[in-house]
């Protein structure tokens, strides 16, 4: 009789949590797998079994990953792990937990009882260049000078005008961001600024807030919004796991 060994399944990681966390999520993991914990000392890895060596960032997989993290957040403090992280053996995972136990414990203490809330502020205007021209006389003067040239603006003229526009837009963003952070700082444990991704985006803030202070944060957003005119739109979201306030870099 020939014996065939069954390969050990890999372990898909969702989060790092306290060892006391014992989730009972039977079928909400990647590929409908059950979610469980593997513990080492005071910390645990929240995982599900997986046969694949890599997982594609398809909508269903991203949704499953986020669902597990969201469920965990309602029960315990978590350090979210990047989507697609797979430990290929239980021993490898235990080694990761042992080697990083102190760091994980410190980061769990840092965000314990807290959630992340996001705030994006955008300019809600049809033409941002015209909006900036109406706000800044120096840009208006340069625009009029360049447009009024007999043979039209040169490439250097366009570059100079673009540089001034970018400089003034950056300057405005900094002033507006400082005003909003000042309004929210007493309601947040920490605030981090993320890079803006679009021209009309004024700021993108990640705010670490005590779990029971979310209403106070929302009130703070409304108070901050009152300082701006109707050209600005405020969009806050969450709660999320504290992605921007912890660093879980795993080589699994």
CATH number of the domain at 192, please.
Answer: 3.30.70.260
State which of 112, 130, 145 marks the end of a domain. Answer: 112
pLDDT single digits (tens) 41-56: 889 999 999 988 889 9
State which of 83, 112, 141 marks the end of a domain. Answer: 112
Q: How far apart are CA 102 and CA 99, in angstroms?
A: 8
Do 104 and 154 fall into the same domain? no
- pLDDT at residue number 223: 94
Question: Average pLDDT of 85-112?
Answer: 91
Do 128 and 212 fall into the same domain? yes
Do 108 and 156 fall into the same domain? no
- pLDDT at residue number 75: 85
Do 24 and 91 fall into the same domain? yes
In a domain, 1, yes or no: no
- Boundaries of domain holding 44: 10-112
Angle between helices 137-147 and 128-135 (to 10 degrees): 110
Q: Work out whether strand 114-123 and strand 86-87 pair parallel, antiparallel, or are unpaired.
A: unpaired
Tokens in use for 90?
Answer: 């239980």
Question: Average pLDDT of 21-38?
Answer: 85
Do 172 and 82 fall into the same domain? no
Do 239 and 125 fall into the same domain? yes
Tokens in use for 21?
Answer: 């966390």
Q: What does the angle CA 9 – CA 14 – CA 15 come to, to the nearest 5 degrees?
A: 125
- pLDDT at residue number 7: 57
In a domain, 216, yes or no: yes
Do 123 and 221 fall into the same domain? yes
State which of 62, 90, 112 marks the end of a domain. Answer: 112
Q: How confident is the model at residue 249 (pLDDT cuts 50, 70, 90)?
A: low
Do 65 and 139 fall into the same domain? no
Question: Average pLDDT of 126-146?
Answer: 94
Do 108 and 120 fall into the same domain? no
Do 102 and 175 fall into the same domain? no
Do 125 and 101 fall into the same domain? no
- Residues 215-242, buried b or exposed e (16+ Cβ, 10 A)? eebeebbeebeeebeeebebebeebbbb
In a domain, 252, yes or no: no
* pTM to 2 decimal places: 0.83
pLDDT of 3 higher than 60: no
- pLDDT at residue number 74: 85
Do 91 and 189 fall into the same domain? no
- pLDDT at residue number 79: 94
């Amino acid at each position: 009789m020939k014996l065939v060994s069954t390969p050990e399944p890999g372990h898909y990681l969702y989060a790092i949590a306290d060892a006391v966390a014992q989730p009972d999520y039977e079928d909400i993991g990647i590929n409908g797998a059950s979610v469980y914990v593997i513990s080492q000392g005071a910390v645990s890895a929240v995982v599900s079994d997986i046969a694949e060596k890599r997982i594609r960032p398809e909508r269903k997989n991203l949704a499953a990953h986020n669902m597990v993290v969201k469920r965990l957040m309602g029960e315990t403090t978590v350090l979210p792990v990047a989507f697609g992280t797979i430990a290929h053996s239980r021993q490898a995972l235990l080694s990761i937990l042992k080697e990083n136990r102190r760091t994980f414990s410190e980061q769990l203490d840092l965000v314990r009882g807290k959630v992340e809330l996001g705030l994006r502020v955008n300019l809600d205007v049809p033409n941002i260049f015209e909006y900036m021209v109406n706000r800044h006389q120096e840009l208006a003067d340069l625009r009029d000078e360049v447009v009024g040239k007999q043979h039209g603006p040169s490439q250097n003229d366009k570059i100079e005008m673009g540089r001034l526009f970018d400089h003034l837009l950056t300057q405005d963003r900094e002033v507006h961001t400082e005003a909003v952070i000042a309004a929210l700082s007493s309601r947040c444990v920490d605030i981090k600024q993320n890079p803006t991704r679009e021209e009309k985006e004024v700021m993108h803030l990640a705010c670490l807030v005590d779990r029971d202070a979310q209403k106070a944060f929302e009130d703070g957003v409304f108070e901050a919004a009152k300082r701006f005119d109707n050209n600005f739109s405020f969009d806050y979201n969450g709660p999320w796991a504290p992605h921007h306030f912890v660093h879980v870099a795993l080589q699994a």
